[in-house]
């Protein structure tokens, strides 16, 4: 038997009660400290990109272009510009380069045409705009921004989207502008493979996928804490039947929400559509309290892996933390932030 | 001072500890008991549907058609058929009826054409298929199923989607088949309003929205517990520029996942696209442990309301519970389940 006073008993009880409840409360990780940092992250597509298949000179060309794009966006943010402007101008550089599958250098569909898609989302207002299947708009990401700002629509497609862009004075180009010999050869190669399969009487020829994804994307957070994500692509080589992939689909290829993060995807678009990859990252953070890296890892290595999909995601959270993940050999990517980080990578994951 | 033994103190402490932790553990509601029940729920669009604007005869016509569609799907499920077959055949009835804005009776775009969209998702495999902007496919939901089953793609659009459907022998119809005088008059009315705005020099004429949504949708769970959701629509009267709404977008207008629920949406599609409404319902259940009704309420009355959107959602969860919610005057809707429930409603919410 012990002599003990009642307040003391209750103090012990309360303490045990407090301790035993801690397991149910997920704590903010130390890296999640809100700051006025700004940051920008980009990708130029994921796929079977291996060091052994790339000369030093080729690698330098890619690195330089990624750096140029990153710097343009970074400078805008550094000077107090908006995340949207940074995303737009950064993606414009990648669209204007024949190195990537967006704008000039877009891949060819089965009819030998270049059909491009793009989307943008503003994490502050949750406004979004996108275009699908456009053939003459020099910078499809600019058309996506126009849809967001000048209509109550989210997604315009085909000739209608082009008419709309023309009406608003967007720069149009002849199909010859978008042509690159490299992409045309890719089409011929894909069609050769297709013919071989046809001759072997293998059906489902629309299943052919050459695992070359050159989609470009950018996510930026400005000094006001606004997050914007954008994606631009030529889709899939030899694509048929007006196929639309994930890039112009809000929540699949692109998503931004100031409460959580911004995300841009690249890969076999259909798997990103079925898993709502970009929206899923945000929801895992918002509703399951996962960190950015954990959320990306779950979407790529669990959700998309399980279905058999391949590709990658870039993202940044509302604290300015940058992350990326992919299950392909490589992904053209880079980021810069207010703390002086400036990283360009192509092959296996090292940062961030 | 009190005399008390030590084991007694610890017993009190443990009890308090247990009680105080209960608040953090969300309990399964009694209704969430897994059973072999099957159920089907449908909608025929949400909007300004008021009792005072509808004659008894008109109401009977709508009720009868909704009941016919519901019964077709219910019978399939009752006989052990698949949720997909139930969703397809139920939607076919609604597509074939001129009462609803899907298939025959689809609304007209600004060019006086009927462009239809549809999508389907299988909650077991997370496979999905969709078509956008098709003009001659008698039953667009059948084309969505074909895309799901016969390609690795999710979304085919425009003429390409039609070519694909034709190649696979889907029933095509001339544009006269889809024509209804009522919808054509709606177009003329919308264009009259547009002209009036133009004459007043009001810009953003693409903002016009006549708040008539006749999209159809169906979600079913079969005796194997598989959930399938589908949606079919003619989109928005007087739509321009190849606008694509939420109905063919997986995660926006349609979503199914056997782990959570199946959902079909109707309303101002753009708000359902920006909020990823159907996917959001599923994630609120999966990651935040909300019940079906609470998840629907949050998406409609918080997420979509906040952005200024209007419309409705129908859904059923993996336990066979059915729910719907909307922030419009009414929504054509109904459900039947294994327990003998058979409800058709049009105006303000009473069930379920």
The answer, yes or no, to whether the previous bond of A77 is cis (omega within 30 of 0) is no
In this prediction the pTM is 0.88
Contact of A231 with A267, CB cutoff 8 Å: no
Q: Which residue has the tokens 């703390």?
A: A339
Predicted local confidence at residue A333, as pLDDT: 97
Interstrand relation of B330-337 and B39-47 (parallel, antiparallel or unpaired)? antiparallel
Q: How far is CA A282 from CA A128, B276, B291, in A?
A: 16, 11, 20
Report how far residue A91's alpha carbon sits from residue B276's, in angstroms, rounded to the nearest whole number.
25
Q: Give the nearest partner residue to B12 out of A9, A158, A244, using CB atoms.
A: A9
Whether B273 sits inside 8 A of A287 (CB atoms) is no
Predicted local confidence at residue B204, as pLDDT: 47
* Cβ within 8 Å of residue A83, ≥6 positions away: A38, A77, A123, A220, A221, A222, A226, A227, A228
State which residue of chain B sits closest to A303, comparing Cα positions: B126
User: C-alpha dihedral over A161, A163, A166, A172, to 10 degrees?
Assistant: 70
Q: Higher pLDDT residue, A25 or A149?
A: A149
Q: What average pLDDT is seen over chain A?
A: 87
Q: Give the nearest partner residue to A160 out of B5, B24, B240, using CB atoms.
A: B240
Annotate chain B with three-state secondary structure: CEEECHHHHHHHHHHHHHHHHHHHCCCCCCCCCCCCCCEEEEEEEEECCCHHHCCHHHHHHHHHHHHHHHHHHHHHHHCCCCHHHHHHHHHHHHHHCCCCCCCCCCCCCCCCCCCEEEEEEECCCCCEEEEEEECCECCHHHHHHHHHHHCCCCEEEHHHHHHHHHHCCCCECCHHHHCCHHHHHHHHHHHHHHHHHHHCCCCCHHHCCCCECCCEEEEEECCCCCEEEEEEECCCCCCCCCEECCCCCECCCEEEECCCEEEEEEECHHHHHHCCHHHHHHHHHHHHCCCHHHHHHHHHHHHHHHHCCCEEEEEEECCCCEEEEECCCEEEEEEEECCCCEEEECCCCCCC
Q: How far is CA A317 from CA A124, A334, B102, in A?
A: 13, 16, 40
Whether B242 sits inside 8 A of A157 (CB atoms) is yes
Residue B239 Cα, gap to closest chain A Cα (Å): 10
Report how far residue A160's alpha carbon sits from residue B242's, in angstroms, rounded to the nearest whole number.
5
Contact of B103 with B138, CB cutoff 8 Å: yes
Q: Which two tokens stand for residue A201?
A: 């009487």
Interstrand relation of A2-4 and B2-4 (parallel, antiparallel or unpaired)? antiparallel
Domain ranges in chain B are 35-347
The answer, yes or no, to whether residue A186 has pLDDT greater than 90, is no
Predicted local confidence at residue A2, as pLDDT: 46
Residue of B203, B244, B245, B310 to mutate, interface with A, max A Cβ within 10 Å: B244
Percent of chain A surpassing pLDDT 70: 85
Residue A257 Cα, gap to closest chain B Cα (Å): 10
A205: helix, strand or coil: helix
Q: Give the nearest partner residue to B20 out of A17, A152, A161, using CB atoms.
A: A17
Phi, psi of B143 (to 5 degrees): -70, -40
Residue closest to A42 by CA, chosen among A216, A214, A212: A216
One DSSP character per residue, A250-264 reads BTTTEEEETTTEEEE
Q: Which residue has the tokens 């919610």?
A: B325
In this structure, the number of other CB atoms found within 10 A of the CB of residue B136 comes to 18
The answer, yes or no, to whether residue A122 has pLDDT greater than 90, is yes
Predicted local confidence at residue A311, as pLDDT: 95
Predicted local confidence at residue B220, as pLDDT: 98
* Cβ within 8 Å of residue B14, ≥6 positions away: A16
One DSSP character per residue, A272-293 reads HHHTTHHHHHHHHHHHH---HH
Q: Which residue has the tokens 């074909």?
A: B146
Predicted local confidence at residue B33, as pLDDT: 44
Residues of B carrying an active site annotation? 215
Phi, psi of A98 (to 5 degrees): -75, -5
pLDDT band at A5 (very low <50, low <70, confident <90, very high): low
Whether A244 sits inside 8 A of B132 (CB atoms) is yes
Predicted local confidence at residue B45, as pLDDT: 92
Report how far residue A2's alpha carbon sits from residue B2's, in angstroms, rounded to the nearest whole number.
9
Residue of A129, A244, A310 to mutate, interface with B, max B Cβ within 10 Å: A244
Report how far residue B103's alpha carbon sits from residue B218's, in angstroms, rounded to the nearest whole number.
15
Whether B127 sits inside 8 A of A274 (CB atoms) is yes
Computed on alpha carbons and rounded to an integer, the radius of gyration of chain A in Å comes to 23
pLDDT band at A24 (very low <50, low <70, confident <90, very high): very low
CB pairs under 8 A between A and B: 194
Q: ipTM score here?
A: 0.87
Residue A341 Cα, gap to closest chain B Cα (Å): 32
Q: Give the nearest partner residue to B273 out of A154, A163, A287, using CB atoms.
A: A154
State which residue of chain A sits closest to B166, comparing Cα positions: A241
A198: helix, strand or coil: helix
Q: DSSP state, A140? A: H
Which of these ranges, A126-140, A270-284, A323-337, B25-39, has the smallest mean pLDDT? B25-39
State which residue of chain B sits closest to A235, comparing Cα positions: B153
Q: Which residues of B fall within a CB distance of 8 Å from A161?
A: 241-242
Q: Which residues of A fall within a CB distance of 8 Å from B121?
A: 274
Residue A152 Cα, gap to closest chain B Cα (Å): 6
**pLDDT tens track, chain B, 352 positions:** 444 565 555 555 445 444 443 333 333 343 444 446 899 999 999 988 888 888 999 999 999 999 999 999 999 999 999 999 999 999 999 999 999 999 998 888 888 888 999 999 999 999 999 999 999 999 999 999 999 999 989 999 999 999 999 999 999 999 899 988 888 888 888 888 877 766 765 554 444 444 456 899 999 999 999 999 999 999 888 888 999 999 999 999 999 999 999 999 999 999 999 999 999 999 999 999 999 999 999 999 999 999 999 999 999 999 999 999 999 999 999 999 999 999 999 998 776 7
Q: Write the pLDDT tens digit of every residue in A188-236.
A: 888 888 777 767 655 544 444 444 568 999 999 999 999 999 999 998 8
Whether A279 sits inside 8 A of B274 (CB atoms) is no
Whether B270 sits inside 8 A of A207 (CB atoms) is no
* Cβ within 8 Å of residue B169, ≥6 positions away: none
CA A26 to chain centre: 28
Question: Which run of H or E residues covers position A89?
Answer: helix A83-96
Provide the CATH topology of domain A35-347. Answer: 3.60.20
Q: Which residues of B fall within a CB distance of 8 Å from A128?
A: 273-274
Residue closest to A183 by CA, chosen among A97, A90, A69: A97
Report how far residue B128's alpha carbon sits from residue B52's, in angstroms, rounded to the nearest whole number.
40
Q: Which two tokens stand for residue B138?
A: 């008698």
Most confident of A7-21, A65-79, B237-251: A65-79
State which residue of chain B sits closest to A11, comparing Cα positions: B13
Residue A252 Cα, gap to closest chain B Cα (Å): 9
Whether A21 sits inside 8 A of B20 (CB atoms) is yes
Predicted local confidence at residue A118, as pLDDT: 98
Q: Give the nearest partner residue to A160 out of B16, B154, B242, using CB atoms.
A: B242
The answer, yes or no, to whether the previous bond of B4 is cis (omega within 30 of 0) is no
Question: Which run of H or E residues covers position A3?
Answer: strand A2-4
Whether A152 sits inside 8 A of B252 (CB atoms) is no
pLDDT band at A27 (very low <50, low <70, confident <90, very high): very low
Q: Write the pLDDT tens digit of every residue in A110-120.
A: 888 889 999 99
Q: Which residues of A fall within a CB distance of 8 Å from B12?
A: 9, 13
Q: Give the nearest partner residue to A156 out of B154, B241, B284, using CB atoms.
A: B241
State which residue of chain A sits closest to B12, comparing Cα positions: A13
Whether A251 sits inside 8 A of B276 (CB atoms) is yes
A311: helix, strand or coil: strand
Q: Write the pLDDT tens digit of every residue in A235-293.
A: 888 888 999 999 999 999 999 999 999 999 999 999 999 999 999 999 999 999 999 99
Predicted local confidence at residue A10, as pLDDT: 55
Burial (CB count <10 Å: 0-12, 13-18, 19+), residue B222:
buried
pLDDT band at A295 (very low <50, low <70, confident <90, very high): very high
CA B239 to chain centre: 20
State which residue of chain B sits closest to A18, comparing Cα positions: B17
Contact of A147 with A131, CB cutoff 8 Å: yes
């Amino acid at each position: 038997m012990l002599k003990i006073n009642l307040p003391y008993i209750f103090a012990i009880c309360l303490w045990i009660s407090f301790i035993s409840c801690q397991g149910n409360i997920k704590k903010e990780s130390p890296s999640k400290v809100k700051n006025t940092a700004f940051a920008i992250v980009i990708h130029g597509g994921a796929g079977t990109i291996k060091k052994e298949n790339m000369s030093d000179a080729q690698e330098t060309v890619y690195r330089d272009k990624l750096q140029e794009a990153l710097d343009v966006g970074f400078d805008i943010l550094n000077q107090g510009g908006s995340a949207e402007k940074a995303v737009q101008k950064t993606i414009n550089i990648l669209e204007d380069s024949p190195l990537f599958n967006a704008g000039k250098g877009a891949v060819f569909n089965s009819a030998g045409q270049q059909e491009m898609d793009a989307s943008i989302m503003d994490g502050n207002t949750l406004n979004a705009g996108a275009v699908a299947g456009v053939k003459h708009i020099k910078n499809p990401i600019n058309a996506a921004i126009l849809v967001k700002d000048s209509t109550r629509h989210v997604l315009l497609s085909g000739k209608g989207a082009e008419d709309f862009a023309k009406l608003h004075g967007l720069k149009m180009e002849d199909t010859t502008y978008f042509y690159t010999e490299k992409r045309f050869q890719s089409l011929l190669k894909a069609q050769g493979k297709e013919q071989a399969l046809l001759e072997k009487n293998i059906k489902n020829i629309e299943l052919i996928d050459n695992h070359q994804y050159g989609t470009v994307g950018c996510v930026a957070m400005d000094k006001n804490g606004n997050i914007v994500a954008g994606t631009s692509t030529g889709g899939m080589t030899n694509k048929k039947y007006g196929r639309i992939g994930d890039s112009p689909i809000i929540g699949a290829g692109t998503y931004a929400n100031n409460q959580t993060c911004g995300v841009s995807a690249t890969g076999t678009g259909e798997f990103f559509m079925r898993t709502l990859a970009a929206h899923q990252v945000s929801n895992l953070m918002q509703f399951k309290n996962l960190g950015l890296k954990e959320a990306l890892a779950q979407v790529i290595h669990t959700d998309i892996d399980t279905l058999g999909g391949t590709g990658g995601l870039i993202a940044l959270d509302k604290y300015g933390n940058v992350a990326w993940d992919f299950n392909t050999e490589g992904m053209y990517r880079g980021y810069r932030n207010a703390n002086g980080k400036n990283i360009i990578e192509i092959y296996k994951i090292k940062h961030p």
